[in-house]
Homo-oligomer: A and B are copies of this chain.
């Protein structure tokens, strides 16, 4: 390729690699080479080496497609949207995936998934029918958190309250009653950590699982 001023191609390569990593497709050295019309592998390699040395990239030596963004803790992953709330444990419910949405993960291993809201019991909290809520299971639940709970095999989204050793599930809609289920009928699925509303038809279903 044509000679550029110092740093210019470097930055372009960084952007390219970064984009590929965000897309979940780590490039090879030679893919970088051809993407920038270089005639030698080493041209790409030395840029990548430099980016690692500068700390802008991280590399697993020897492994193919081994370049990564540093500080992978705060990266975006795709979380599945579970179409319906399944009766069994969530790991088994993979068949009912409605689609995937990009989510920011702050820790390494966390179970975050999306859930389509059904009904308007949380309307006055700004959670409307059709919204997608992001739920983290294996999460500590505190007073006032909005949670996804299973009562007698049915799933609902409510505000969590503990009142005198008894659990209350409060709707945010005057038309609905406060629930006080027996502990044995109740399972807290997880905590709602985010609400999303898509005002435009965006197909999240473009990567359906056929299995």
Contact = CB atoms under 8 A, between A and B. Distances in A.
A23 B75 contact: yes
Given A26-B65, A210-B70, A211-B14, A194 B193 contact: no
Interface stretch (A33-41, A175-183, A196-204): A196-204
A79 B104 CA distance: 12
A197 B198 contact: no
7 contacts: A54-B210, A54-B211, A55-B211, A70-B209, A102-B102, A126-B197, A195-B196
Contact of A206 (B64, B73, B199): B73
A211 B23 contact: no
B204 A76 contact: no
Q: What's the number of copies of this chain in the assembled complex?
A: 2
Contacts of A69: 207, 209
Nearest to A131: B126
A119 interface: no
Interface in A9-36: 10-11, 14-15, 18-19, 21-26, 28
Interface of A: 10-11, 14-15, 18-19, 21-26, 28, 51, 54-56, 64-65, 69-79, 91, 94, 100-104, 106, 123, 126-128, 131, 145-146, 191-200, 202-204, 206-211
B22 A71 contact: no
Contacts of A204: 104
Given A15-B94, A56-B210, A194-B199, A74 B126 contact: no
Contacts of A91: 15
A111 to B, nearest CB: 11
Question: Top 9 nearest A-B pairs by Cβ distance?
Answer: A102-B102, A76-B102, A56-B211, A55-B210, A24-B24, A195-B197, A71-B207, A11-B211, A193-B200
Contact of A192 (B71, B94, B128, B199): B199
Given A25-B26, A199-B192, A204-B104, A210 B76 contact: no
